[in-house]
Amino acid sequence: MLGLLFLVACLIFLSTFLLAKRLSSSQQQQLEIEHLKVRVGILNRYVEEKQKEQRACWWCNLGRVLGSPGKKELEKTRDMLIKAGFRDDHHIGAYFFIKYGFVLFIALIGLGLWTWFNAKVEIALILPVIALLLPERVLIEMGKMRLNRIKDALPDFLDMANICMNAGLSYLVAFKRVTEELDEMYPEICYEFQYLLDQIQIGVPRQEALKQFAERNPSDEVKELIQVLAQNEKLGTPIGLALNEFSRRLYQQRESKIEEKAAKTSAKMAIIILPFLMLPYFILMIGEKMVMLGRSF
């Protein structure tokens, strides 16, 4: 049985290696074609392909081939990756490679448990199903955690931007300045605002760029910020005062949430502490009676 498992593993590795080699050969041929185009003056496209080649990897390409679902499912996966902070195109292939590689690894573990440790067949069948669903769940949780970090950093970011605007900068220049200063402290929100500024710089309309910013970060605070920016963009009113009031409101909401969590924490702690407080009290109440009852026998 061990020899059969080893043979299956060797076949899987060999097929994976041959497929990756074929993909690499196809990509090399495409690069040679692009090199010929460079010689006749088409340079920009070749540079873009070269940059993609440096960022990509063979296992990302293999994952893209293995996980080629329908267009709707692919867009759903891309949206989850973007919300989790993985925006590059090769991240999709990396996600599918990790997902199916994890499923294969867990399936081999289940097969080993069933073969060597006489585990139930149901366990060997359930483990790959759990492994298939787990990466998507982890990706969703990563997106939620990243969104929470963005919401927590938003008031501080807007305060710094408001200080820059009071010094005479426009709000876009102020955002760029703050992203440079707070990149190490709040990398998630700085990355999102830098992406917004890059979109506007390459020619995307501001309203459309702001709309995409809200779609990438679906929270009430971000949507309200986009509404404030869009409204001031249309009406031409001073944006510094609006951002100042908005950041103050965010601070007040944060304080109220902290107070609410503190109140809930005290109630939860009382449920845990109460049995330990009541136990000595009951011992003191009935201890003397129990001793007297024991002496009577």
pLDDT at 39: 44
- pLDDT one digit per residue (tens) for the chain, 297 residues: 545 555 555 556 556 655 555 555 655 555 555 554 444 444 455 445 545 554 556 667 777 777 766 778 888 888 888 888 888 777 888 888 888 888 889 988 888 888 888 878 888 889 888 988 998 999 999 999 999 999 989 999 999 999 998 888 888 899 999 999 999 899 999 999 999 999 888 888 888 998 889 888 888 888 989 888 888 777 777 788 888 888 888 888 888 888 888 878 877 777 777 777 777 777 777 877 777 777 776
* Encoded tokens for 136: 């998507």
- C-beta pairs of 150-154 under 8 Å, 24+ apart in sequence: 150/188, 150/189, 150/192, 150/217, 150/219, 150/222, 151/219, 151/221, 151/222, 152/254, 153/182, 153/185, 153/186, 153/188, 153/189, 154/189, 154/221, 154/222, 154/225, 154/247, 154/250
pLDDT at 36: 46
* Encoded tokens for 33: 């074609």
pTM of this structure? 0.69
Indicate the burial class of 210 (C-beta count within 10 angstroms; 0-12, 13-18, 19 or more). buried
Per-domain residue ranges of the chain: 11-55
Distance CA 201, CA 209 (A): 10
Distances 53 to 130, 136, 192 between C-alpha atoms, Å: 34, 27, 25
